[in-house]
Amino acid sequence: MKHIVNFYHPEFHPQLRLLTLPSVIISWVFVALICSFFYFYLATEQINIKSEISKLEQDSQQQKILVKELQNAIDNQKVNPTLLTQVEKNQQIISLKKRVLNKLSSQEQLKSHSFSKLMIDLSNHDQDGLWLTHINLNGISIVMEGAATDSSIVPRWLSSLGQTDYFRGQEFSNTRLYRDSEQQLNFVISTSTEPTLEKDSNNE
């Protein structure tokens, strides 16, 4: 006599999960919020772009008017000295702005590259008991401010930094240690062309 054993229990049967109305509503609300955000973002960007285009068109139109007036004056062999001076002045201003923009762009790229190298070297020479609170990099000198748990940590950290690619060949010519109102040991370290050493009366 054969017996049939059913191992396919109901809990193993595929469950048909239907979307409920609340879940559908939540999904649509979420999608609507995302779409609204992108819509307002694109609308704002479009307004800004239109404003810039309008300004450029106005400047271009003014330049065209000046050029046309100058051309008419030349055609009539009656050059207006005031108009000619104004055109030359505008051209000089435009040329100067282009040079300044190119110089600023080059400086920003150099500053960004230098700051990246500085941060990499600082992160690779982390010192226990010492932390930085402020870094100022102006392309000529570096000013670093921070705090430490002991004054002996600072020179040890500076010696380590002196071996890095960024700080190699530079001198930490200005070092100041002081304690704040909470008796926390703070330091200010900078590189400069004129070596000086400053210490407060309460230096450690």
Q: List pLDDT tens digits, range 81-129.
A: 787 788 888 887 777 666 656 555 545 544 554 677 778 888 888 888 8
Residues 97 and 157 in one domain: yes
Residues 105 and 166 in one domain: yes
What is the CATH number for 130? Answer: 3.30.980
What pLDDT score does 204 carry?
Answer: 47
Residues 54 and 73 in one domain: yes
> What is the residue range of 54's domain?
20-79
> Crossing angle of helices 21-75/81-124, nearest 10°?
140
Give me the phi and psi of 29, to 5 degrees please: -65, -40
Residues 98 and 184 in one domain: yes
- Whether 137 is in a domain gets the answer yes
What pLDDT score does 109 carry?
Answer: 47
Residues 179 and 85 in one domain: yes
199 or 149, higher pLDDT? 149
Query: CB–CB of 121/104 below 8 Å?
Result: no
Residues 39 and 116 in one domain: no
Instruction: Tell me what the mean pLDDT of segment 40-49 comes to.
Output: 87
- Whether 15 is in a domain gets the answer no
Residues 64 and 93 in one domain: no
